Structure 1
Amino acid sequence: MNATDATATPLCDALRASGNWNPNWEPFAELDPAWTEKFMAMGTAPMTSGFLDAKTIEFIAIAVDASCTHLYAPGVRRHIRKALELGATKEEITAVLQCVSVLGIHSMSVAAPILLEETAAHATRVEASHK
């Protein structure tokens, strides 16, 4: 966002200043700063509500950033570092990563049956073409 924009984005600005801004969010902020500010407010509300302790928030952030739908290594690193600073153990963080790793199993549960069907169909076509 440039200085001539009328939309104030204090939360986005704070995230940038603190190093918690993902550069991939910049196009959103350019296209619609007000929407991006509202989105960031929604996304950070659970972290600022006080209902969850800081270490739990870091565990959730690690899980989100490490998930197969996100895969944001800089965030994983930042949140692991913060979790360790908050007293998390290597075993606790490993358990978080193990929990989130099962998200990817759905790729296999969708694709494996298709692979079996397609290889069977291919074999049938090959066999039919040799007759």
Structure 2
Amino acid sequence: MTTADTPTAASTTPLCDHLRRTGEWNPNWTPFAELDPEWTERFMAVGLKPMLDKVLDAKTIEFIAIAVDASCTHLYAPGVRRHIRKALELGATQEQITAVLQLTSVLGIHTMSLGAPILQEEMAAYQTRSQAHADAAHA
């Protein structure tokens, strides 16, 4: 029996294999895929479920993927590029993609909504401490 005649075992990671074949694989996933291929396959199945179920149209999926990859908590440029390219191929306009990016940029406001009140509290506490220190120096 030759190698060509030898039956091949079914892959235990068909989704991961598909992502690799189609250029959708993020190289950052490779280390944990090597450590635990079964867990990685299950993780990908969860992540791909909305796309595989086709509840949303393909262009909407690409808009969401752009938003996720461009978000201030992710900032994954290769994914942004890949999903913009796919969205354009699906008929998205520059204006639509710009709107997605603009909406996503609102995530950054949390930096201010978290930091500004803390700054105000700390400034008030600092001023109170400084005044108490000044009063003690004059006493």
Shorter-chain TM-score: which interval? 0.7 to 0.9
User: What is the TM-score of this pair, normalised by structure 1?
Assistant: 0.87
Unaligned runs of 5+ in 2: 1-10
Tell me which stretches of 4 or more aligned residues in structure 1 moved more than 6 Å. Answer: none
Q: 2:84 matched to which residue of 1?
A: 80
Matching residue within 25, 30, 37 for 1:33: 37
Provide the aligned C-alpha RMSD in A.
Answer: 1.5
- Which structure 1 residue ranges, 5 or more long, are not aligned? 1-6
Q: Establish whether residue 45 from structure 1 lines up as the match of residue 70 from structure 2.
A: no
Aligned to 2:69: 65
Structure 2 partner of 1:106 = 110
Query: Percentage identity across aligned positions?
Result: 74
1:54 aligns with 2:39: no
Equivalent in the alignment of 1:92: 96
Which structure has the bigger radius of gyration?
2
Amino acid of the residue matched to residue 96 of structure 2? E
Distance 2:32 2:133 in 1: 53
Separation in structure 1 between the aligned mates of residue 132 and residue 31 of structure 2, nearest angstrom: 53
Amino acid at match of 2:113: S
